[in-house]
């Protein structure tokens, strides 16, 4: 059986696919980001994603604004990093209070399953990402093909859960109890070097402290040896019912399109294509 991700490339991606041949992984992400930015129109409210892939989209939007091809764009950043990057690129910023409906969000993802469910937020920005992208009329995700998985949680990488610092150890035990009996399940508090809040982690007990999100919360990483089995929405609801849990990194049903950068080009996956059997 073929991979559920091997969809036919969109015709509009043909030139990008040709240009992508022989490019590095970062080049492919940039090409996919440029394709996503083609959806941006003057006057839009944009959700501005976080991370290296989203940075390519931010840079392109800046270029279009500077050249006069886009006008009257305002952005809602999904992290302090995105806010700083957008401000440096002279992209005007706003917030959800002023604009509760976002026209388009463009962001990366840590993992994507065949139903276009995502794992996001391993960098700690999951809460703001989900708030902005959940308020979006259209949410376009940019990834490389290493991010495609058959089941969320099955890659060995963590699914992050944001928790408040107060009583975090009790919240961790409640998370453990929720998955008690699940083979290969493990969890741990995400930690970071005292000297940097970035993703440079260390196992030396004398040099670590809890990783702190932009919202001044902690992250608990959930690990599943064989991925998450069962109803993802029901598991999501169970997680959010735990007192002390703020949000989790499963983004279920939020992505409208996924642009996948591959060595042989870029492939467009979207809900309409899936519903038509592609």
CA distance 178 to 237: 12
Residues assigned a catalytic role: 129
C-beta pairs of 249-252 under 8 Å, 24+ apart in sequence: 249/110, 249/119, 249/120, 249/121, 249/122, 249/126, 249/159, 249/160, 249/161, 250/117, 250/118, 250/119, 250/152, 250/159, 251/109, 251/117, 251/118, 251/119, 251/120, 251/129, 251/130, 251/133, 252/117, 252/118
At residue 150's C-alpha, the angle toward residues 145 and 155, to 5°, is 75
């Amino acid at each position: 059986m073929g991979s559920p991700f091997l969809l036919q490339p969109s015709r509009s991606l043909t030139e990008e696919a040709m240009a992508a041949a022989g490019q590095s992984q970062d080049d492919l992400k940039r090409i996919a980001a440029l394709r996503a930015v083609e959806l941006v129109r003057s006057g839009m409210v944009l959700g501005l994603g976080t991370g290296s892939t989203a940075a390519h989209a931010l840079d392109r939007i800046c270029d279009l604004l500077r050249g006069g091809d886009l006008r009257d764009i305002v952005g809602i950043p999904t992290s302090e990093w995105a806010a700083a990057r957008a401000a440096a690129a002279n992209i005007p910023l706003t917030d959800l209070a002023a604009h509760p409906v976002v026209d388009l969000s463009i962001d990366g993802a840590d993992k994507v399953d065949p139903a276009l469910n995502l794992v996001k937020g391993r960098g700690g920005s999951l809460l703001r990402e989900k708030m902005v992208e959940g308020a979006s009329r259209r949410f376009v995700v940019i990834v490389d093909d290493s991010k495609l998985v058959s089941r969320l949680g099955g890659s060995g990488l963590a699914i992050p859960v944001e928790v408040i610092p107060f009583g975090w150890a009790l919240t961790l035990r409640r998370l453990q109890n929720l998955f008690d009996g699940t083979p290969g399940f493990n969890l741990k508090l995400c930690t970071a070097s005292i000297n940097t809040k970035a993703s440079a982690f260390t196992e030396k007990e004398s040099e670590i402290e809890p990783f702190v999100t932009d919202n001044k919360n902690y992250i608990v990483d959930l690990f599943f040896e064989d991925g998450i089995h069962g109803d993802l929405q029901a598991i999501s609801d169970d997680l959010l019912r735990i007192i002390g849990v703020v949000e989790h990194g499963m983004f279920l049903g939020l992505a409208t399109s996924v642009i996948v950068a591959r060595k042989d080009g870029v492939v467009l996956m979207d809900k309409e294509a899936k519903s038509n059997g592609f």
